[in-house]
Amino acid sequence: MPAAPFTFELRHVDAHSAARRSTLHTPHGAVEMPAFMPVGTQGTVKGVDPDRLRGTGAQMVLANTYHLSLRPGEGVVAALGDLHGFMGWSGPILTDSGGFQVFSLADRMRATEEGVQFKSHIDGALVDISPERSIEIQEHLGADLIMQFDHVVALPNEPHVVADAMRRSVRWAERCRRAQTRSDQMLLGIVQGGLDVNLRRESAAALTAMDFQGYAIGGLSVGEPPPEMYAAIEATTPHMPADRPRYLMGVGRPQDLVEAIARGVDLFDCVMPTRNGRNALVFTDAGPLRLRNASHQLDRQPLEAHCPCPACRHSRGYLRHLFQAGEMLGPILASIHNLTYYQRLLAEARTAIEADAFAEFREAKLRGWAPAA
């Protein structure tokens, strides 16, 4: 019998928190978790080619179903070797379902029980995505991990709006399960429910009964304060199966990652490292640096002395010059540094969990990131 295309190993749980050390085996390689996925919305992590992306320590990347379905179209991607061949990325890939665009393009969409109709941000043409259509697109794109189509709403919101969106997402999850035809893709269900603990529990119970191979926490980092997001995560993870990967979608800041790991999350994605890098903000253990600040003009220091990334071979003064001069190398180097920083952070977290020292690691990181008094 052939080996199962996906296996999940829960290798260790920290003695003093819910932090988990695990490994997800996929057809395109293993992912050591907790792990962070750089976001390649349109089949590219902006400004970073695959070789340099691997050099940051990235193991798996994310691409966007909605955007790729519009341009170049999932048929083109399939004809060019699915996302792995199209992007030149040989490692695991996850595609989101298009559900986040229900939130981010709210002024361009109309949701019904059947699905969502968007006005294309490219040419205004009407685009219909249903649970079945989302799975069809993702099967053509050929990612290793694929997501159910869900209904994401902004927070805070009216309780009935959050409840309706959660229950619609559960119904859509069942339709996604029925629509899936490929056995070499792991389909994840998405727990919704906003900040309502009871709704999160209801969603998790309904999805667990469908026996997904993995589970995600969706609908957070959409306007709510961080402490409320952490409380929602803490209320959700105990109701997610311990023997399946847990993915927190679209989060976030370094401190958000550390707080979510402490609450039992395994996998993350966010545009923050590259988006901030393109805008001259870089992450360090001493907190973020804004490279356009005049204080860096004559600074000979690297961004971080112990960082192996190519940006840290240069001085802060030089990096500032690149941004001031409008040179494209500035955003590229800052993005690579931020991606490297996130991968180093997650690698250190894995080591700390294995040593039952995650609480100390978390405290030290949060202390370093805290604003100066």
Pairing of β 20-26 and β 7-13: antiparallel
Between CA 195 and CA 352 the distance in angstroms is 29
Q: Is residue 51 flagged as an active site residue?
A: no
Residues 6+ away with beta carbon under 8 Å from 252? 221, 268, 270, 272
> Which of these is catalytic: 184, 211, 269, 285?
269
Going from the C-alpha of 317 to that of each of 61, 281, 331, 338, the distances in angstroms are 31, 14, 14, 17
Q: Measuring CA to CA, which residue among 87, 90, 89, 108 is closest to residue 98?
A: 108
State the DSSP code for 61. E
State the DSSP code for 106. G
Between CA 172 and CA 193 the distance in angstroms is 14
Between CA 238 and CA 295 the distance in angstroms is 46
Asked if residues 14 and 39 have their Cβ atoms less than 8 Å apart, the reply is: no
Between CA 303 and CA 346 the distance in angstroms is 19
Residue with tokens 């405290």: 363
> Which of these is catalytic: 14, 96, 150, 256?
96
> How many other C-beta atoms are found inside a 10 Å radius of the C-beta of residue 303?
25
Going from the C-alpha of 10 to that of each of 29, 332, 354, the distances in angstroms are 17, 36, 12
Between CA 88 and CA 63 the distance in angstroms is 13
Q: Is residue 269 flagged as an active site residue?
A: yes
Between CA 263 and CA 238 the distance in angstroms is 9
Q: What is the DSSP string of 205-242?
A: HHHHHTT-SEEEE-S-SSS--HHHHHHHHHHHGGGS-T
Q: Which amino acid makes up residue 221?
A: S
> Which residues are identified as catalytic?
96, 269
